[in-house]
Amino acid sequence: MPEGVEQADRSDLGMVVSGSLSEGLEVRLNAETSVEDMAVGRYVVIEGAQRRFFAMVTDVRLGAASPQLAASPPDVSDPFVAEVLTGTGIYGTLALQPMLTLADGDAGPQPVKTVPTHYSRVREANEEDVSLVFGAEDETHYYIGQPLDMDTPVCVDLKRLVERSSGVFGKSGTGKTFLTRLLLIGIVQREIAVNLVFDMHSEYGWAGTSEGSGRFVKGLKQMFPARIAIFTLDPESSLNRGAHPDHVVEIGYDQVEPDDIAMLREALGMTEAQIESIIRIARKYGDNKWLRRFLELEGDERDALATELGLNPGTLMVLHRKMQTRLARLSFMKEQAAGNSVQAILDCLQRGIHVVLEFGRHRSLDAYILVANILTRRIHERYVEAVELAMGNRVKEPRPLVITIEEAHKFLNPRVADFTIFGTIAREMRKFNVTLLVVDQRPSSIADEIMSQIGTRITCLLDNEHDINAVLTGISGAQSLRGVLARLDSKQQALLLGHAVPMPVVIRTRDYGTPESYAAFQQFAEAAGLHRQALRSLRDLYDER
């Protein structure tokens, strides 16, 4: 065959010319392959001599065979000269990060421990390669999107996802909420865990909005009416949106503990002195009674209290006003809460019903932080009790619980992560069957030590250096993915990495909001439901799954 004439294999991209395991591989592109057709994040396959490697494109570069070609460029406006030089004097190169490898006789793809030989051919991944690595949909694998430029499903292992805390990150408007909703649907469909969602912007339970055309997309309750309970802090708003809340949540003064207020330090602009005062006051009246008692105090009673506790009367006055106007004024705050919301939530969770708590018009961060913190602390307590009870006994452990929080850095930043319940949950991993699904646009604000516990990271576009660093630290080989992360599309693209996927991969997030998309979700749920019912009728109904 004449030299220079390549095989007509159109998926062939080029060959490996240099590289290392730690720094990735350099691939020289065929003359026929234009760098402009390449994209970071693309998934490619290297056919080594003895094994196949699965890799991701992490950079695309221009090469010149001699410095002169770059320094005094020939006249490439002449198409003949340009064509001659392409692929010889000037050429494209890819930087690849090999992630997995497969040799004959391997049970499945294995982590890479070496690199392919010189001049190994590199080709585009095909459907078979994708499904080999990312599996097909089943009891735990859930179709979340497709690789760039491909239509084959990429699946996440939801069982592994909920085993540790996980995170969905990305700038505002990049698709975090849509992705999170997709994950929740998968968890509901497969009964992998029960969800408790703190739905700050009322997007998950009932009818989320879609920017695209200002239209609405279905919420979880519309998809799975019998499996979801909507709790609300603002019944009026829920009803206005057509959601019929199952339970109205009220928070009693007695439920607010000093730590809950400490969490609000930033949201309420509290000083150290104010926090310290609350701690002293609570010590006097008790953690459950301090707020009610403090709010009841008149001016001179407060001064007396200040004297008694050795506090500044001015500080107490400001604090009083703050509690009055910022807390007591919230419509769900009651001196005495009607019903026990915590118990109601736990009842649902125990029955495998997922709970979405809508905040309605309470969109302020203080309301969100306060409520999420108070409820989560109590639910966690009960989980700890239940798990401890189950240990040694033959009592069933509680179902794994996934708590979804948006604006997660408010709960997990280095200043509060040490003493918030969310910090505790992230650190203790799944010891008590509770993990977090954190959604955040500023991952760099989350304490490093918490970030390191986030096993699966699903990341939409980030452009801040610190945020990119935060998401990539602690994951091996991830540094080469920085360029990938910074160049995702601004919508509906995400980099998946960590515990729930065998190798990092960039996806186009599965479409959500079309009639076909709803139908697909429901079909799967029905099929899976029937299957499980059949299994259950064989086993003890109350046996652990």
Partner 1 sequence: MPDTGRVGEIVEVAAAEYLAQSYALHAAPAIGTFVRTGHEGVDVIGVVAGSRTAGVDPSRRPIARGEDEDDEDALYRHNPELPELLRTEFAVRLVGFGRAGRYSYFLPPVAPRLHGFVYRCLDDEVIALTEQLTFLRTLLQPGLSWGAPPDELVGATIRAADRARGGDRAFRIRAGKVLVGALLNDVPRLEALLRSFQQLSESVDSSRDHL
Ligand X SMILES: Nc1ncnc2c1ncn2[C@@H]1O[C@H](COP(=O)(O)OP(=O)(O)O)[C@@H](O)[C@H]1O
Residues that bind ligand X (CB under 6 A): 170, 172-178, 210-212, 491-492, 509-513
Burial status of residue 192 (CB atoms within 10 A of its CB: 0-12, 13-18, 19 or more): buried
For the bound state, the minimum distance from the C-beta of residue 209 to ligand X, rounded and expressed in Å, comes to 6
User: What DSSP letter does each residue of 11-49 carry, written as one string?
Assistant: TEEEEEEEEETTTEEEEEEPTTS-GGG--TT-EEEEE-S
Is residue 272 at the binding interface for partner 1, with CB under 8 A as the rule?
A: no
Tokens of 251: 């928070």
Is residue 78 at the binding interface for partner 1, with CB under 8 A as the rule?
A: yes
Nearest CB to Mg ion, comparing residues 208 and 477: 208
Which of 4, 225, 310, 515 binds partner 1 (CB under 8 A)? It is 4
For the bound state, the minimum distance from the C-beta of residue 170 to ligand X, rounded and expressed in Å, comes to 5
Rounded-to-integer distance, Cα 475 and Cα 495, Å: 13
- In 3-state terms the chain splits into helix, strand, coil percentages (rounded to 5) of 40, 25, 40
Quick one: residue 177, left, alpha or beta (phi over 0 = left, psi -120 to 50 = alpha)? Answer: alpha
Is residue 77 at the binding interface for partner 1, with CB under 8 A as the rule?
A: no
User: Comparing C-alpha atoms, which of 506, 542, 461, 536 is closest to residue 44?
Assistant: 506
Which of 9, 37, 62, 65 binds partner 1 (CB under 8 A)? It is 65
Burial status of residue 288 (CB atoms within 10 A of its CB: 0-12, 13-18, 19 or more): middle
Question: Which of Mg ion, ligand X, partner 1, none does residue 212 bind (CB under 5 to 8 Å by kind)?
Answer: ligand X
Amino acid identity, position 34: S
The backbone torsions φ and ψ at residue 410, rounded to the nearest 5 degrees and listed phi first, read -65, -25
Residue nearest to Mg ion (CB): 177
Q: Which helix (H) or strand (E) holds 97?
A: strand 90-103
Residues 6 or more apart whose CB falls under 8 angstroms from that of 114 comprise: 21, 101
Nearest CB to ligand X, comparing residues 20 and 172: 172
Q: How many residues bind Mg ion (CB under 5 A)?
A: 1
Is residue 3 at the binding interface for partner 1, with CB under 8 A as the rule?
A: yes
Is residue 69 at the binding interface for partner 1, with CB under 8 A as the rule?
A: yes
Is residue 392 at the binding interface for partner 1, with CB under 8 A as the rule?
A: no
For the bound state, the minimum distance from the C-beta of residue 203 to Mg ion, rounded and expressed in Å, comes to 7
Rounded-to-integer distance, Cα 78 and Cα 85, Å: 11
Which of 75, 151, 298, 516 binds partner 1 (CB under 8 A)? It is 75
For the bound state, the minimum distance from the C-beta of residue 508 to ligand X, rounded and expressed in Å, comes to 8
Considering only residues 26 through 45, tell me which ones interact with partner 1, judged by CB under 8 A.
31
Is residue 166 at the binding interface for Mg ion, with CB under 5 A as the rule?
A: no
The backbone torsions φ and ψ at residue 104, rounded to the nearest 5 degrees and listed phi first, read -55, 135
Is residue 5 at the binding interface for partner 1, with CB under 8 A as the rule?
A: yes
Considering only residues 89 through 148, tell me which ones interact with partner 1, judged by CB under 8 A.
89
Amino acid identity, position 511: D
Which of 27, 46, 55, 85 binds partner 1 (CB under 8 A)? It is 85
Question: Which of ligand X, partner 1, Mg ion, none does residue 267 bind (CB under 5 to 8 Å by kind)?
Answer: none
Question: Which of partner 1, Mg ion, ligand X, none does residue 491 bind (CB under 5 to 8 Å by kind)?
Answer: ligand X
Rounded-to-integer distance, Cα 493 and Cα 220, Å: 22
Nearest CB to Mg ion, comparing residues 259 and 358: 358
Q: Which helix (H) or strand (E) holds 232?
A: strand 228-232
For the bound state, the minimum distance from the C-beta of residue 201 to Mg ion, rounded and expressed in Å, comes to 7
Residues 6 or more apart whose CB falls under 8 angstroms from that of 23 comprise: 480
Is residue 177 at the binding interface for Mg ion, with CB under 5 A as the rule?
A: yes
Binding site for partner 1 (CB under 8 A): 2-5, 31, 65-66, 68-69, 72-75, 78, 80-81, 83-85, 87-89
